[in-house]
Amino acid sequence: MGDDRGKKAGDPAGGAGPILAIESSCDETACAVLDRSGAILSERVLSQQEHLPFGGVVPEIAARAHLAHLPVLAATALADAGVAAGDLGAVAASTGPGLIGGLIVGSHFAKGLALSLGVPFVAVNHLEAHALTARLPGLVPDGAPFPYLLLLVSGGHCQCVAVDGLGRYRRLGGTIDDAAGEAFDKVAKMLGLGWPGGPALERLARDGDPAVHPLPRPLLGRPGCDFSFSGLKTAVAQRIAALPRDAEGVIRRQDAADLAAAFQRSVSLVLADRVAHALAMMPDATLLVVAGGVAANAEIRANLLGLATERGIGFAAPPLRLCTDNAVMVGWAALERLRAGLAGRNGLDTPPRPRWPLDELAA
């Protein structure tokens, strides 16, 4: 796919050329090209539609879709950026955590390309990529210096993390059952909103009154910053079962909207409460960062901004397109590691991992 342009295979710093990044940890196939300063030269995200008939992600279908779409998407991202494959200085890919089939497809594609070009392959922890998104150039005025508090609400992950530095993460609290994103998807499914559920539920909630259905707010005010959403999900199911239905067994749209608004309000208040407790555990934090798919929810962002303002600290949330899974964050995390000399010399030997906790990353 091109010559090595004077680059030395195995050089952990790579060449001075741009980096191609790949994301395939779930149901988004994504590629991006960034230059060495972190400027985004191109980005492409393909949200797989193959899962719609099943109401959720089917791992085997996701892996096959990545395999079908990734080569074309990578070529398109390079063309958009005006970069030839032979001009790349490194290749990066999400290597975990996530669905193992998709991780194998994405990381092996990236490894093969890096090996053929004689440039470094950077194995990126998907959660670290979310955690570092706020440090992308231009997202936070004057940058996002360490340390900061991260609320990570991505898919099956819901945790408060002290980000002390690159590769230095302390988990202060996390979910003891369902994550916030899982709860959004499950409640949306109960309400017949289809998949993906989170955005559909937020749209419905705009027309609802959250005061109509008083719902529990699990762990609100309790010590620590753990989360629990299983009981809230059960309470919603009980409310749905008690709602009147038409002749076809469908609940009224207004009833569904009121319940969606009440659920969203409970989740947003619980997240803000738990983050407030986490801030008390991290008094040196001058910035609150929220990242992950649930961070795209407007009410949740507003509540967290209010909390940060009240505490006199900064607040950062990625633009909506960078909240959900994307390759820009993968490329930026790889660049941070390359700059710090933390990318490692044996990236090609890094296996994909379905589980890869943030606090296992060692500087």
Which fold does the domain 19-132+323-360 belong to in CATH?
Answer: Nucleotidyltransferase; domain 5 (3.30.420)
Q: When comparing pLDDT for 279 and 11, which is higher?
A: 279
Does residue 102 have a known ligand-binding role?
Answer: no
Q: How confident is the model at residue 249 (pLDDT cuts 50, 70, 90)?
A: confident
Does residue 185 have a known ligand-binding role?
Answer: yes
Give the SS3 label for residue 232.
helix
Does residue 303 have a known ligand-binding role?
Answer: no
What mean pLDDT comes out for the span 264-269? 98
User: Which tens digits make up the pLDDT trace of 98-151?
Assistant: 999 999 999 999 999 999 999 999 999 999 999 999 999 998 887 899 999 999
92, 339 Cβ separation under 8 angstroms: no
What kind and span of H or E run contains 91?
Answer: strand 90-96
CA 63, CA 104: separation in Å to the nearest integer? 8
User: Which tens digits make up the pLDDT trace of 284-303?
Assistant: 999 999 999 999 999 999 99
Does residue 297 have a known ligand-binding role?
Answer: yes
What mean pLDDT comes out for the span 170-187? 95
Tell me what the pLDDT averaged over the chain comes to: 93
Does residue 346 have a known ligand-binding role?
Answer: no
Q: How confident is the model at residue 247 (pLDDT cuts 50, 70, 90)?
A: confident
User: Which tens digits make up the pLDDT trace of 47-106?
Assistant: 998 888 888 899 999 999 999 999 999 999 999 999 999 999 999 999 999 999 999 999
Give the SS3 label for residue 21.
strand
Question: For residue 240, is pLDDT > 50?
Answer: yes
Does residue 153 have a known ligand-binding role?
Answer: yes
Question: For residue 246, is pLDDT > 80?
Answer: yes
pLDDT for position 16: 86
Does residue 330 have a known ligand-binding role?
Answer: no
pLDDT for position 188: 95
Question: For residue 10, is pLDDT > 50?
Answer: no
pLDDT for position 363: 47
pLDDT for position 141: 83
At the fourth CATH level, the homologous superfamily of domain 145-317 is ATPase, nucleotide binding domain (3.30.420.40)
What mean pLDDT comes out for the span 198-219? 97
pLDDT for position 328: 98
Any idea where the domains of the chain sit in the sequence? 19-132+323-360, 145-317
Question: For residue 8, is pLDDT > 60?
Answer: no
Does residue 154 have a known ligand-binding role?
Answer: yes
Q: How confident is the model at residue 194 (pLDDT cuts 50, 70, 90)?
A: confident
Does residue 268 have a known ligand-binding role?
Answer: no
Contact partners, residue 72, CB within 8 Å, separation at least 6? none
CA 158, CA 175: separation in Å to the nearest integer? 6
pLDDT for position 248: 85
What mean pLDDT comes out for the span 270-297? 97
pTM (two decimals): 0.93
Does residue 72 have a known ligand-binding role?
Answer: no
CA 151, CA 131: separation in Å to the nearest integer? 9
Contact partners, residue 89, CB within 8 Å, separation at least 6? 7, 14, 15, 16, 17, 18, 19, 36, 119
pLDDT for position 140: 86
Provide φ and ψ at 95, rounded to 5°. -120, 5
CA 183, CA 266: separation in Å to the nearest integer? 11
Percent of the chain with pLDDT strictly greater than 90: 85
189, 215 Cβ separation under 8 angstroms: no
What mean pLDDT comes out for the span 266-293? 97
9, 15 Cβ separation under 8 angstroms: no
CA 218, CA 287: separation in Å to the nearest integer? 26
Question: For residue 6, is pLDDT > 60?
Answer: no
Same fold, 19-132+323-360 and 145-317: yes
CA 94, CA 114: separation in Å to the nearest integer? 14
Closest by alpha carbon to 141, among 305, 314, 361, 259? 314
